[in-house]
Structures are given as C-alpha cells and as structure tokens.
C-alpha cells in the first residue's frame, strides 16, 4: 500500500516540476501577442471579444501589411508576436518563404468556402476575409460637378478632371496599394502597366502610408477619388457618415485575401492556435461588421453585409507571382514613380 502511495506522490511531484496539466490547466497561456493589420477599430474589437470569450489577455500592435513584414524580419529571433492577422496573403507567402511562419492546420479549415484557394497548400496560412478594390469618390464634389462621372475604369483616373485629385497609398507600406499595382500589371502587362503608373503619378494628390486612410481624405474633401478596398470605403460611409460613392472598374478589379498565421517562435502557441481556430468560425467572422469592417467571409455560415460587391468582376489575381516579385516591384515603384518619404498617415 505504501508503495502505491509513494508512486502517486512521485507522479504528482513530476507533474509539478514539468508544469504540465494533470487534471488542471497550469500550462494554458493567459495572454497572446497579436500583429494586426486591419484598422484599429477592428483590431481592438477582436481583441476585446477574444478576451471576453476565452479569458486570454490580448496584446496587439496595429500596423500596415508592409510595416508588419519589416517588423517581423527585424524581430525574427525574438518572438515578439505569436500570431499575425489581416495582411494580404502576398505578404504571408513572402513571410513563409523567409521562414517567419509556423505551420498550423486548424480543424476549422473544413469551414472554408474554397479550401484550395483560401489556404496555403503547406498549411502555413489561412484566409480569413476577402476585400475588393473599388473607386471611392466624394459624392458632394460629384453633385457640384454634374458633368463629371465617377470613374468606371482604370483609365478614367487619368482624365484631366481628376488631375491632382486622386489619392492612393504607397505600395512600400500598404498591402492595398501593392494589390493595386499587381492588378494593373496583370491587366495591362508589365510594359503598359508601368506606363500607366507613370501617367497616374501626375494625377496624385499625395501618397499615404496606409490604404485604409485614403477614403477618409476623400470624404473630407482633401482629394476627390481614391482606390481602396471596399470595406475601408464603406466604413467611412456608414460609421463616419462621409459623402462617398462606390464604383467598380468595368475591366476587372483586384482583391485581397487576408491571412492569419502563427509566427515562428511563438511564445503562446496554444493561444495563437485558439485565435486562428476562432476566426475560422461564423462566431469569429460575424464580428467584423459589428466593428464597421465590411469584408466578404471565407467560410460558410457568415452574414454578408453588402451583397452588391458580389457582382464585382474580380481578376484571377496571382498571389504567388505577386509575392515572388514584391521586392522588385516595390523597389521599381519607389525609384521610378514615387519615393516612400513624407507619406500621409
């Protein structure tokens, strides 16, 4: 009998020393560090909702997609973040190739509407929402100039009436604008595409750091038209009541697939996995609209807020080609079209 007691005492001591859960939860993470690319209101909303639901503290930093990739490269050996959410998967593909991501296949990946298109074949990232590039035009300016139509094609942005009135982000810091760059290069070919951007640069009011801020400048009247993802324009229309009109490029438009991934060296990998699992459920993705973020879902069973965007003519966006040429194309844009200095926030 004494031997049995000693056996259980020894097992108990071993469990304490190894800090594993023998009927308890001593190894469960109590916090998670998130690198978040969507707008601040959604980053904070997701953090608050996650903490309320799971009792895990969320420490997040909100950065644009380009800034995030730079930050991860600089912190590669330090494990500053556990999970990265919301950047276009072009950036995730680059990060995967540079060894910045950790493989994780969520059991909730079965909820994906298109598993082949919305998930990395090697399980390093998964898509959590779609965004469509649109034109956002100041509707008050249009009312004051009834002879002018909002843009309905990419070439419309080059019209004389929009000279000095177009605002876009810089692709060196913005996933939105890099998506725009790739969209034009795919539609027009590289030679005509770069010629287009040389012409477009003469139309620009100013370049911004983040693509999500351009609708605000248009709605405030600083510029007349922007190119942004639909959710950024809709947010300014619905939350901030800014006068904006959405139109779509008739020849086709680009779209982003925003990703989520666990990061290499994650210190709270269990919480990171839980975060990923959660955002691959209707409970997680239905939260977007609650915080004025109007993306299309990637999984089944999610409410869609703006059905009219389903009619958008999306191009067959080549995420692999986009990722493979990112450094080259951003460098060319910076050297030949516009520097990345003095960008508007």
pLDDT at 62 over 60: yes
What is the per-residue pLDDT for 99? 95
Instruction: Clarify whether residues 211 and 329 are in a common domain.
Output: yes
Instruction: Clarify whether residues 6 and 110 are in a common domain.
Output: yes
Q: Quick one: which H or E segment has residue 271? A: helix 269-278
What is the per-residue pLDDT for 195? 98
Instruction: Clarify whether residues 330 and 209 are in a common domain.
Output: yes
pLDDT digits over 191-237, tens only? 999 999 999 999 999 999 999 899 999 999 999 999 999 988 998 99
Can you state the angle between helices 190-201 and 326-336, rounded to 10 degrees?
40
C-alpha to C-alpha distance for 233 and 296, rounded to whole angstroms: 14
Instruction: Clarify whether residues 30 and 118 are in a common domain.
Output: yes
pLDDT at 4 over 70: no
Query: Percent of the chain beyond pLDDT 70?
Result: 90
Query: Does residue 27 form part of some domain?
Result: yes
Instruction: Clarify whether residues 20 and 73 are in a common domain.
Output: yes
Instruction: Clarify whether residues 178 and 302 are in a common domain.
Output: no
* Burial 314-325, CB ≥16 within 10 A → b, else e: bbebebeebbeb
Instruction: Clarify whether residues 213 and 104 are in a common domain.
Output: no
User: For position 31, which CATH number holds?
Assistant: 3.40.190.10
Q: Strand runs (DSSP E) across the chain, as ranges?
A: 31-36, 57-62, 83-88, 101-102, 126-138, 166-169, 204-208, 225-229, 244-247, 255-263
**CB distance 161 to 129 below 8 Å:** no
Instruction: Clarify whether residues 201 and 265 are in a common domain.
Output: no
C-alpha to C-alpha distance for 247 and 205, rounded to whole angstroms: 20
Query: Does residue 344 form part of some domain?
Result: no
Question: Is the overall model pTM greater than 0.85, yes or no?
Answer: no
Q: Strand runs (DSSP E) across 17-108, as ranges?
A: 31-36, 57-62, 83-88, 101-102
Q: Torsion angle, CA of 56/61/67/70, rounded to 10 degrees?
A: -60
pLDDT at 308 over 70: no
Instruction: Clarify whether residues 39 and 91 are in a common domain.
Output: yes
What is the per-residue pLDDT for 307? 61
Query: What is the domain extent for residue 79?
Result: 2-130+256-310
Instruction: Clarify whether residues 227 and 278 are in a common domain.
Output: no
Q: Quick one: which H or E segment has residue 93? A: helix 89-97
């Amino acid at each position: 009998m004494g031997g049995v007691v000693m056996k259980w005492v020894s097992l108990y001591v071993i469990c304490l020393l190894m800090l594993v859960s023998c009927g308890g939860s001593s190894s469960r993470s109590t916090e998670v560090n998130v690198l978040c690319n969507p707008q601040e209101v959604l980053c904070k909303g997701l953090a608050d909702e996650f903490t309320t639901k799971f009792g895990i503290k969320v420490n997040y930093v909100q950065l644009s997609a380009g800034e995030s990739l730079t930050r991860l490269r600089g912190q590669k050996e330090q494990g500053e973040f556990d999970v990265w959410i919301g950047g276009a998967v072009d950036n995730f593909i680059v990060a995967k190739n540079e060894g910045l991501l950790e493989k994780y296949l969520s059991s909730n990946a079965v909820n994906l509407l298109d598993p082949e298109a919305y998930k990395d074949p090697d399980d390093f990232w998964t898509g959590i929402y779609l965004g469509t590039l649109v034109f956002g035009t100041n509707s008050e300016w249009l009312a004051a100039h009834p002879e002018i139509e909002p843009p309905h094609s990419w070439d419309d942005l080059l019209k004389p009436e929009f000279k000095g009135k177009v605002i876009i982000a810089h692709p060196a810091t913005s996933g939105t604008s890099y998506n725009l760059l790739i969209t034009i290069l795919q539609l027009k070919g590289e030679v005509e595409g770069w010629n287009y951007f040389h012409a477009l640069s003469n139309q620009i009011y100013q370049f911004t750091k983040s693509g999500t801020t351009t609708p605000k400048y248009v709605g405030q009247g600083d510029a007349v038209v922007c190119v942004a993802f639909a959710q950024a324009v809709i947010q300014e229309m619905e939350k901030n009541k800014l006068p904006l009109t959405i139109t779509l490029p008739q020849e086709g438009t680009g779209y982003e697939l925003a990703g989520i991934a666990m990061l290499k060296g994650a210190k709270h990998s269990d919480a990171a996995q839980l975060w990923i699992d959660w955002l691959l459920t209707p409970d997680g993705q239905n939260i977007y609209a609650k915080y004025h973020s109007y993306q299309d879902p990637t999984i089944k069973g999610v409410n869609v807020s703006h059905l009219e965007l389903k009619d958008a003519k999306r191009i067959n966006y080549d995420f692999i080609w986009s990722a493979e040429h990112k450094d080259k194309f951003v460098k060319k844009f910076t050297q030949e079209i516009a520097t990345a200095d003095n960008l508007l926030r």
